[in-house]
Structure 1
């Protein structure tokens, strides 16, 4: 006999506050009280509630917004619908997975990360050495950073009334909510790249090189494969496996003769995946230009950046449930830490 416990679940406003107090989303809270392990329908706990109230959110048969407010119970679902839809848009536009080494969830509004010092010459290649009897073994020191991580709220305020959207189809409304998520993603990416370049306030800004200088060589403003190789070589013992490039610098890299090999060209033309010389993941990032850098940022993705998240996507649930949607805030709270200073470097064109 099919499990129908979800049909009898009492939904209340207070569930959102209780979920937040536990550091969970509303969907995760529903999973605690109505676990998907008890079903074989391929749905999560929130999707089962949509099914319960016959709410269709996608396709040509999508309902209007008003369907959520047909009953007091079903109205409780609308804030989570907004949060999930905004998160979908954020993930579509988000470049953070390409540049973040790890994500830490915190339950406070302040956070201090750690740093590691492996002794003098930490930017140079380390070699294993025999340690003589009675001699000191080289030390690696891990300490708490002096400056706390800056935590910001990234979000948008909805300037729309319930009356303006109540008869709009949900498959149309989701496009606008997803766009809010995309804007939040752009704001977060700007701060993340700023930390990669300028550091997190703990004296760990990226080293900066310029085309034409004594280290990189070449001519100012003109990138050739030789200069790209010289920049790549500065990462040893780290690995330059990701390159952030604005539009013009992206064009310069993509048009290098060494990039125009048949396999790279075929891959780019077939599915649009960017392959840069030396195998680094090439990510378009106009935020680099917005931060005043006429050039590119190279990084060792696995050792560079920590994302700190206090809250996921949140909405002012009480206002939304009461249909007071105007001036409702949709937000995400978090910040970024630089893990290893030498793991990111900047190459300026001039």
Structure 2
């Protein structure tokens, strides 16, 4: 069977593998090495089969997908890839998490690891026949809260069928941005959950360089490598004289990455969850992302049937703190 004789149907979306993986199983890319189709995946070969151009000023209208029943099956994957381009490659949450766990059920209970305190460092040397110190790893006492975020289409097929796919892809990426914003809010909410997280008091509304020194030492033995701040505190940090250092300025202008004087990544969030406080942490130990199903889920059946006004694009995730001591909450006291 060659790529231009494959029968496409909705069943490819119902597989646990997902659409592209199911298509790859039928039409492996390795069969095309040394041909003009090398470098394309199974989905991209189908676009070529039906001569559908999805990028550039000469991209086809949306109606091109619906010329045949087979080509219509490709449209939900186009939507998925357009949104996933933002969700999977431009999601600031990826700069906050230590690991991602994929699950197939809403009932997921993570583990929590007991921190190894600096005071216990002297006990790290073990003599023959002596007790080996223990680190407790236990199940959390509650299930992970998974939340769905996304958008539904409100335009009818008739209204958008003549629109170019390149332009439509831009509007879909906006949904990806919205999903990213929702996931950032979830992550911040879990990181800033008061209880077992240590609190450091900031005596004024403006954070000082001394505060950064104290944060650095307070997080030890964990690394101070990430800071999340809402707008006022974010502006306060950027106003520090140390940020006007030549090397820091060159890095900021060259890469767009905002790094604190201690090398910690500075993340801006627009939520009100922090109440103008700050969270500092070690991203290597602090947070687990739990992903239900695919990174992006699309109502493929409705979209194939052109019922766009009732179709949805969503993502369902949750977050867990792994090691509480790897997180420090900075609260304003004045």
TM over 0.5: yes
| 1:335 maps to 2:328 | no
- How far did 1:124 drift? 4.5
Does structure 1 residue 275 correspond to structure 2 residue 269?
no
Mapped to 2, the partners of 1:332 and 1:258 lie a distance apart of: 39
1:159 aligns with 2:154: yes
Structure 2 distance, partners of 1:340, 1:327, is: 42
2:290 matched residue in structure 1: 308
Seen in structure 2, the aligned counterparts of structure 1 residues 102 and 13 have a Cα distance that, compared at 3 Å, is: same
Choose the corresponding residue for 1:207, options 185, 192, 198: 198
Give the Cα–Cα distance (whole angstroms) in 1 for the partners of residues 75 and 125 of structure 2: 64
Residue 153 and residue 118 in structure 1: after superposition, are their counterparts in 2 closer, same or farther (change >3 A)? closer
Greater CA drift, 71-80 or 38-47:
38-47
Query: Which of 242, 246, 251 is the equivalent residue of 1:258?
Result: 242
Secondary structure at the counterpart of residue 214 of structure 2: helix
What corresponds to 1:217 in structure 2?
none
5+ long unaligned stretches in structure 1 = 213-219
Q: CA offset at residue 231 of structure 1?
A: 2.0
Give yes or no for the alignment of 1:65 onto 2:76.
no
In structure 1, the partner of 2:220 is: 236
The equivalent of 2:276 in structure 1 is 294
Q: Check the 8 A contact 1:103/1:309 in 2, yes or no.
A: yes
Tell me how far apart the structure 2 counterparts of residues 263 and 233 of structure 1 sit (CA, whole Å).
Answer: 24
Moved more, 270-279 or 319-328: 270-279
Residues 271 and 87 of structure 1: is their aligned pair in 2 closer, same or farther, counting only changes over 3 Å? same
* 2:225 and 2:265 in contact (8 A); partners too: yes
Unaligned segments of structure 2, at least 5 residues? none
Answer whether contact 1:124 1:237 (CA < 8 A) is retained: no
Any idea what the Cα deviations from partners look like across 1:205-260, whole Å, max 9, x if unmatched?
x3222212xxxxxxx22322112211221101111111112222222222212222
- 1:182 deviates by 0.8
Q: 1:69: how far off?
A: 0.3
1:126-205 alignment runs, 5 A limit? 126-198=121-193, 204=196
After superposition, the CA RMSD in angstroms is 1.9
2:291–2:317 contact (8 Å) kept in structure 1 = yes
What do the CA deviations read for 1:63-84 (whole angstroms, capped 9, x no partner)? 0000000001000000111111
Which of 308, 312, 322 pairs up with 1:325? 308
Q: How big is each residue's C-alpha offset from its partner over 1:120-170, in whole Å with a ceiling of 9 and x where there is no partner?
A: xx3646334444554322112222111111122222111111111111110
Q: Note closer, same or farther for the CA distance 1:163–1:26 as it changes in structure 2 (3 Å cut).
A: same
Residue 39 (structure 1) aligns with: 32
Q: Is the 8 A contact 1:92 1:182 kept in 2?
A: no
CA distance in 1, matches of 2:226, 2:276: 17
TM-score by length of structure 1 reads 0.88
TM-score (norm 2): 0.92
Which moves more between the two structures, 78-87 or 131-140? 131-140
CA contact (8 A) 2:281 2:326 kept: yes
Change (3 A) 1:118 1:323: closer
